[in-house]
Amino acid sequence: FPKTKIRTFLCTGRSMNVDMLLRNWKCLRALDLSRCGVNSLPSELVMLLHLRYLDLSYNSELKLLPNSFSKLVKLQTLRLQQCNSLNKLPEDLPELAKLRVLDIKCCSALTSMPTGMGKLTDLNKMPLFVAGDRFTHSERSIVY
């Protein structure tokens, strides 16, 4: 893909070379890679400094998210629904001060949440919370 100022990219249900995409499209604000067969994400993901919406749902082979996830300072929505192999959320996830929605429904390999989730004061929708081998489901908004 040529370098461009594309701000939104939806690629649901197609295989995609994510490395090339992220290198060339630095102005992305919304990225939907759901159902794209993504099994890993390059570290360049955290260089998308304008990213507000990221959907990686239904990528059942995705195991890890990149380190330094907190560099995505504008991220408001993170959807990881049915990422069945995802076994850990980034430890710096609680540093995403603008995060409003965290969807980890059916992420069966997750065994815990990062320490400090209480820092996410803008978070108002999180349908699932993982505590050890227990999953707590709640479709209600979080009220502080």
CATH code, 40: 3.80.10.10
Which residues are CB-contacts of 84 (< 8 A; sequence separation ≥ 6)? 60, 106, 107, 108, 109
pLDDT value of residue 143: 34
Rounded CA-CA distance 128/95 in Å is 19
Which structural domain range is residue 20 located in?
1-144
Segment 98-108 shows an average pLDDT of 92
Q: Which residue has the higher pLDDT, 102 or 143?
A: 102
Residue 78: Cβ-neighbour burial (10 angstroms; 0-12, 13-18, 19+): buried
Beta carbons of 40 and 21 less than 8 angstroms apart: no
pLDDT at residue 16 tops 50? yes
- What is the number of structural domains in the chain? 1
Mean pLDDT value of segment 37-63: 91
Closest to 82 (Cα-Cα) out of 22, 38, 132: 38
130 vs 68, which has greater pLDDT? 68
The answer to whether 135 and 111 are in contact (CB under 8 A) is: no
**pLDDT of res. 126:** 67
pLDDT greater than 90 at residue 128: no
Instruction: Report which DSSP code applies to 127.
Output: S
| Burial class of 28 by CB neighbour count within 10 A (0 to 12, 13 to 18, 19+) | buried
Residue entry with tokens 């710096």: 92
pLDDT of residue 135: 43
Q: What is the mean pLDDT of residues 30-42?
A: 90
pLDDT digits over 76-90, tens only? 999 999 999 999 999
Asked if residue 104 lies in contact with residue 89, where contact means CB atoms within 8 angstroms, the answer is: yes
